[in-house]
Structure 1
């Protein structure tokens, strides 16, 4: 049964048009806020430290390690940030911006854009009308989509049943949308239009706004700009994003323990599947996608768990169920012209020991006794996802696949990570083929050190580097107020200039690595919010953090300061996805208690821009040092000439298995547990839409017939998630396990002779 819920520490808030706070709260207009004094604020982060989880972490060798310099938050800072007055970091962005310090809407260019937007709105009304009678406008797609663009966002519990309640197949600003049992008006002042034809459900005609190409037009990294949000907390349950789920079970610290407690709760309202399906069905709806497009955004980053495919014995996660909701979401994104960056947020064993990896505490992926075996298994899941999203029905909708989120570089090692990334690259391109238009871009995370990856795998095919900068987790007390002058006569204090310092590192990476993006950032410069740093970390929603949690009390000056910081962050990062679109209410206060992480809440209440293009030029107006990115990439970096021509000498430097493995002594490396690829590979199931729509079968490359990893019969394996302190093997398993005696250059294909596949 569920335990008693903890009582929220947030008191009732004043809500008189978000006026000046009551006397008990600091005067945000006139005086700095008292700095947060949470216990885990300490010295700045060091790349040589361990992972930012709570205050201590066990390594896979079983030794407890201090984590001084890291904070127990969602991430750690990774871009160098200096004081604005002494920063020498040059800044630029790929598109020219105005030097005008005036607000966007007061500049001549702003007026021109406004007039252009008006014209676009007129076109948006006229253009869809011309599409009504065309079932084929641009490329049509068809495959796995358990639900369509008119899906059941109101939570009817049946995501595979399309509900086409309107005869219109397209519309712009002011059109009416019927979604399940819900009707709402599509509000999009930016010339965007939705498109859904039940006779042609994979049509890519929709467009989110006038400055973003429709889905049936290729994305150009030298000309187009990402304005995106994450859909965090939907399929990978983070405590601060979905707090009510965790408040019901106070001892839960991650999805592993939450799943165990839900499954053990047999009382009314309990159970694992019923509770999680209710969450999947209602947390993000079709109306959210309409609002995302209406906010001027054009991408979503979608974190998904590997258990969307399967789980192995002993893993408590709910297997397979979320997949039908994931594919329903694909349909909504297509309907509103929103591109998807699909992010595999969890892998077996945990890649970073954070709660959002599935299980908090240890890194057992590419680290320790089970590190290689877990990596073998994760490659299967990357392969299965690649096969699905490379189908023509999804190719243009999902242009980026993030293969593993925030792998902890300091624990795993860069050489070891590079060996894995090269193996994954060759496997994926063995499925998709090489060059532009053949499968998605492959995104890798920088491991919290953006500057280490220059010159990465020259001749590879379309690899993106993703970085997640957070001032909130920089290990500093961050006492500077946000209500003072930012240098332009506006609130913001020093924070906008600090954010602008990121621009130099971004541009240097664009030159040295290639396409570089920011898959996560937020509006917070302090580590404050309910469960932000985990369910067991006190202080992030109490005491000095309360002013940053009680958003109902924020006055106009404070909101403008946060807005200023957010605009500067957007401008510096250039191609970005905000973390996150929505934060759920606390079950005890019935309100959001991590407000600086909710794009939707900020959009509704004034600390998020109603038009993200207002960010362009912010850093230049602040006189941030400039070092312009030339605006072009090497041809091979974007799938042109030279893509897929990694030199043999480079491949030989990063063999698979890797030459060494962190947490494993050299004398036992050859006897590490491994799996064998003799099982039947799973296939993600396609959608059931209409009898006339070709939906694909979930598998792009019929020549990919290799088996899936499975334990070797007769072999005993340590706990894949808890191998710290496990007895190291002294010899390879005698029942058929293959020792890792000789590392080899990664294969360029996954083609094999096994033919069986099974629908997941």
Structure 2
């Protein structure tokens, strides 16, 4: 069906206020195909279109938009226009969406189209003319269907357009020039005001707040004209009133406006999609870093927390015993004061800015179950770290970073290691409390999934690692697979299926190997596999660093390629530069090292002294180069990765970092980490690296969520047997009759006056149809300590009527 279009003539002389584009740049890019993506610029587009990321129009980063536009590119810039018959790459790079829509779509309401009547290219005039959609009562080519009724997004942004850009009016060319001069003078004055603010008023002690802390108030006297965005070299004002200079040589920019707190227009780097754009997993690479030791306290990541208590009769070795020691330390404020001081200072907003400036686009954040609640005698500080995870979401949004939420510590412990909360035994899907603890863990996964699936969170928290490093050999692969499917079902129940509806569900391979997970859950919507390839904990060697130059390539490259093809998205959730287990408390508090032959419980011979490995101040130029070579080989072999960790805290005993190969931050400062992670591409000279794309169903496209019934039947939940305990029906279990502890959202001081802005923080629960209660104890039944280890179950298990957990049932796949 053809449509007649009115071709704009020069005599029309109807203009809108011009969109603030770099017109000269635009003329160069609009009619010439941008270069095809190279190794340093992975495509964000489909295979049919080249990547314009390096030639994207540059919008002003501060002061250049009309008041109310709300972000570096206005929220209301619609998708690009194109002829009905010939789709083309983005004709308007200013658009924030990477979609391709026909000329009959109301998504074509690009403000840019208003200004294109004066082009000297007739073809462009013809293709744009008549397709601009603004008036909600306008109809599509005589079809008498009001545009305002066609989509929610159109009406949502219409107010922003009308508030920001003046109504159309006839202007003479002379008036246009006059108003352009006036506008330039106004921008100059605004720049002077901002300069005075940052150089005069701020030095006199003024402050501003972007507060994400509930109840925080904005200090009186704060100027209203505060910059809300900026690129490399811009000044950033933090919530405590301090300033720092944003350093990002990769074209990234920050954005924060307290009147528009859920704006997702920031961009980490020019090659990384903005948060309001689609990250093409399998094509766009994950360059990530962990924030270890922050919200889950690990001895070797944050030794200063543990060192004050080393002289205690029982020195703390994990967060359980650390919490007990801090609670008794009333002289220094007790648990709440000491631990919250750590949360406030160990990782700050400046770290998020620096991570983006280092060329990284993801952060993996370990979070413990006590972010939600604790029960009985569990000594952890409940709920407080959640406030700082909310800050992390805000800071990630501000700097264009995406988050992988890593459920790092489960009740009872999923692996018995210190970073699971308590050093000792495995009590999830293992032992007499294995069933009860996994029920409780699934409850917390459900709560977290509901929160991060909310519209204002899901564009930042894009991956949910449902369990960190479960001990697969102890639990058993079959039960681990059953558990993963049940957890996946919880995540999809919270968010639904299809790209953009909630996070990827990430499964750790459980130390069973990637090949054991090939073809697991075919049809699963946005499932990812996580592996943690460390050399440090294997057989120790006296080999020098230069001999490891190609080790990651041969050890990991082919396996990752195979898993990307056989399973889907596969990422290294943790890895480091360490090739030995040297470093203060890398194995745990006072547990020694394999390298020096004094590791507790080991009989391995001494290889040598750890002093040369730990003494990073004495690293030679050659050693730093060898470390960088190893880092690049690891990055290239793993393809999608999260380094462990961003920061190793200083030891108060030694006065410095004592596990240097584990700190990305220190490596950047000292010159052994690449300043641009893209420089690692090709380091392994891999002839066949996985280049994508992933299958459509693996990324939320056609067929997503359609897991065959035969597959779900083979992984029915609950399991019949629990490792080292016996029949699940004879073990303590919980019942879903409690009150669900939903997670709180941040509050902001802004007015939310930007028309069309998303300002509601939600209620923490995305799916109102999920009304099941929380897993709680049955009054008539007996329970053991959740961290018990080996023991016989209570006998009798329950008084009165016999209490059995349900028999295994086929878990239905989420509906598409």
TM-score bracket for this pair, using the shorter chain length:
0.7 to 0.9
Given that residues 675 and 737 in structure 1 are in contact (C-alpha distance below 8 angstroms), is that contact kept between their aligned partners in structure 2? no
1:301 CA drift (Å) = 0.5
Cross-structure match for 2:713: 652
1:235 aligns with 2:295: yes
Selected match of 1:581 from 630, 646, 653:
646
Q: What CA distance in whole angstroms lies between the structure 2 residues aligned with 1:386 and 1:262?
A: 31
1:591 CA drift (Å) = 0.7
What is the CA RMSD across the aligned residues, in angstroms? 2.8
Selected match of 1:451 from 511, 515, 518:
515
Q: What CA distance in whole angstroms lies between the structure 1 residues aligned with 2:589 and 2:510?
A: 24
Given that residues 124 and 191 in structure 1 are in contact (C-alpha distance below 8 angstroms), is that contact kept between their aligned partners in structure 2? no
Cross-structure match for 1:673: 732
Q: What CA distance in whole angstroms lies between the structure 2 residues aligned with 1:481 and 1:708?
A: 54
Range that drifts further, 288-297 or 163-172: 163-172
Selected match of 2:69 from 125, 131, 134:
134
What do the CA deviations read for 1:136-181 (whole angstroms, capped 9, x no partner)?
634999xxxxxx996579xxx9895568876111100110112214
- In our comparison, the structure showing a higher alpha carbon Rg is 2
SS at match of 2:772: coil
Cross-structure match for 2:609: 544
Q: TM-score, normalised by structure 2?
A: 0.71
Q: What CA distance in whole angstroms lies between the structure 2 residues aligned with 1:608 and 1:162?
A: 39
Q: How does 1:213-252 map to 2 (within 5 A)?
A: 213-250=273-310, 251-252=315-316
SS at match of 1:502: helix
Where does the alignment leave 5 or more consecutive residues of structure 1 unmatched? 1-94, 99-103, 105-115, 142-147, 483-491, 751-760
SS at match of 1:345: strand
Q: What CA distance in whole angstroms lies between the structure 2 residues aligned with 1:737 and 1:603?
A: 61
SS at match of 2:745: coil
Q: How does 1:585-624 map to 2 (within 5 A)?
A: 585-620=650-685
Structure-2 change in CA distance of 1:314 and 1:258 (3 Å): same
Q: TM-score, normalised by structure 1?
A: 0.76
1:628 CA drift (Å) = 3.9
Given that residues 236 and 303 in structure 1 are in contact (C-alpha distance below 8 angstroms), is that contact kept between their aligned partners in structure 2? yes
Selected match of 1:637 from 687, 698, 705:
698
1:338 aligns with 2:392: no
Cross-structure match for 1:374: 437
1:356 aligns with 2:416: no
Cross-structure match for 2:470: 407
Q: What CA distance in whole angstroms lies between the structure 2 residues aligned with 1:512 and 1:233?
A: 33
Cross-structure match for 2:259: 199
Q: What CA distance in whole angstroms lies between the structure 2 residues aligned with 1:493 and 1:350?
A: 37
Cross-structure match for 2:323: 259
Q: What CA distance in whole angstroms lies between the structure 1 residues aligned with 2:214 and 2:767?
A: 30
Given that residues 782 and 797 in structure 2 are in contact (C-alpha distance below 8 angstroms), is that contact kept between their aligned partners in structure 1? no
1:702 aligns with 2:765: no
1:131 CA drift (Å) = 7.8
Cross-structure match for 1:313: 376
Given that residues 432 and 701 in structure 1 are in contact (C-alpha distance below 8 angstroms), is that contact kept between their aligned partners in structure 2? yes
1:274 aligns with 2:337: yes
What do the CA deviations read for 1:645-691 (whole angstroms, capped 9, x no partner)?
2222211111111132211234xx42111101111001111111034
Q: What CA distance in whole angstroms lies between the structure 2 residues aligned with 1:555 and 1:630?
A: 36
Cross-structure match for 2:162: none
Higher RCO structure (Cα 8 Å, ≥6 apart) = 1
Cross-structure match for 2:489: 426
Given that residues 614 and 660 in structure 2 are in contact (C-alpha distance below 8 angstroms), is that contact kept between their aligned partners in structure 1? yes
Cross-structure match for 1:284: 347
Structure-2 change in CA distance of 1:679 and 1:406 (3 Å): same
1:504 aligns with 2:573: no
Q: What CA distance in whole angstroms lies between the structure 1 residues aligned with 2:527 and 2:640?
A: 15
Given that residues 350 and 365 in structure 1 are in contact (C-alpha distance below 8 angstroms), is that contact kept between their aligned partners in structure 2? yes
1:730 CA drift (Å) = 5.3
What do the CA deviations read for 1:382-408 (whole angstroms, capped 9, x no partner)?
111111111110111111111110111
SS at match of 2:484: helix
Q: What CA distance in whole angstroms lies between the structure 2 residues aligned with 1:339 and 1:197?
A: 19
Structure-2 change in CA distance of 1:151 and 1:502 (3 Å): farther
Q: How does 1:513-528 map to 2 (within 5 A)?
A: 513-528=567-582
1:499 CA drift (Å) = 4.1
SS at match of 2:304: helix
SS at match of 1:411: helix
Q: What CA distance in whole angstroms lies between the structure 2 residues aligned with 1:585 and 1:161?
A: 34
1:397 aligns with 2:463: no
1:167 aligns with 2:167: no
Given that residues 214 and 747 in structure 2 are in contact (C-alpha distance below 8 angstroms), is that contact kept between their aligned partners in structure 1? no
Q: What CA distance in whole angstroms lies between the structure 2 residues aligned with 1:162 and 1:367?
A: 50
1:689 aligns with 2:744: no
- Number of residue-to-residue matches in the alignment: 612
1:701 CA drift (Å) = 1.2
Given that residues 171 and 194 in structure 1 are in contact (C-alpha distance below 8 angstroms), is that contact kept between their aligned partners in structure 2? yes
Structure-2 change in CA distance of 1:188 and 1:159 (3 Å): farther
1:589 CA drift (Å) = 1.8
Q: What CA distance in whole angstroms lies between the structure 2 residues aligned with 1:696 and 1:319?
A: 22
Where does the alignment leave 5 or more consecutive residues of structure 2 unmatched? 1-36, 42-52, 77-95, 97-152, 154-206, 597-607, 753-758
SS at match of 2:461: coil
Q: What CA distance in whole angstroms lies between the structure 1 residues aligned with 2:398 and 2:519?
A: 38
1:617 CA drift (Å) = 0.8
Given that residues 715 and 735 in structure 1 are in contact (C-alpha distance below 8 angstroms), is that contact kept between their aligned partners in structure 2? no
Range that drifts further, 505-514 or 649-658: 649-658
Question: Which has more helix, going by share of residues?
Answer: 2
Structure-2 change in CA distance of 1:161 and 1:497 (3 Å): farther
Q: What CA distance in whole angstroms lies between the structure 2 residues aligned with 1:149 and 1:242?
A: 30
1:536 CA drift (Å) = 2.4
